Amino acid sequence: MNPMMMELLPLVHEGYCCSQLLVLLMLQARDQENPDLVRAINGLCHGIGQSDGPCGLLTGGACALALVAGKGAASETPHAMLSPLLNDYATWFYERTNLYGGQSCSQIAAGLGATSGAPGEVPNPVACGDLLAESWEKIIELVQSYDLDIMPAS
């Protein structure tokens, strides 16, 4: 198990899904709490309500990056490189998960052994832990390579 998962296990046991965990990590890195945002990200969990939608590590990762570089108020402008930043993350994620046959939550969870393949089964976030850790590492790498300030504007 990736050492980062040891830190996240209490959050996993509290019921947070993969997309929420990535946003919680970004909030923690920014020394922030935002239950409303974490609650909103809950909408991305388990492939968007077990609809066989995209993996939460893809959508939640995009949200974590947009938390740093996106537009959040009328007076703000998104970072000029927001689209390439998100594209780089998505491209990395697609390449990383293609061996599972696609980027849906169910395909990736089955490929990682996080489900038994039963319809409607909620993936085990612990079994997805290594990919979660890789996703977080890629997010931090992108934040650094795009020279983004991870801390909120004051």
Residue 151 lies in a domain: no
Residue 28 lies in a domain: yes
Q: What is the DSSP letter of 147?
A: T
Residue 124 lies in a domain: yes
**Each residue's pLDDT expressed in tens, for the chain with a length of 154 residues:** 677 778 888 898 899 999 999 999 999 999 999 999 999 999 999 999 989 899 999 999 999 999 999 999 999 999 999 999 999 999 999 999 999 999 999 899 999 988 877 777 888 877 888 899 999 999 999 999 999 999 987 6
Residue 129 lies in a domain: yes
Vertex 22 angle, CA 26 and 142, to 5°: 65
- Parent domain of 136: 3-146
Residue 154 lies in a domain: no
Domain total in the chain: 1
Residue 131 lies in a domain: yes
Q: Who's near 62: CB < 8 A, 6+ residues apart? A: 86, 89, 90
- Report the distance separating Cα 98 and Cα 43, nearest Å: 24
Residue 11 lies in a domain: yes
Residue 105 lies in a domain: yes
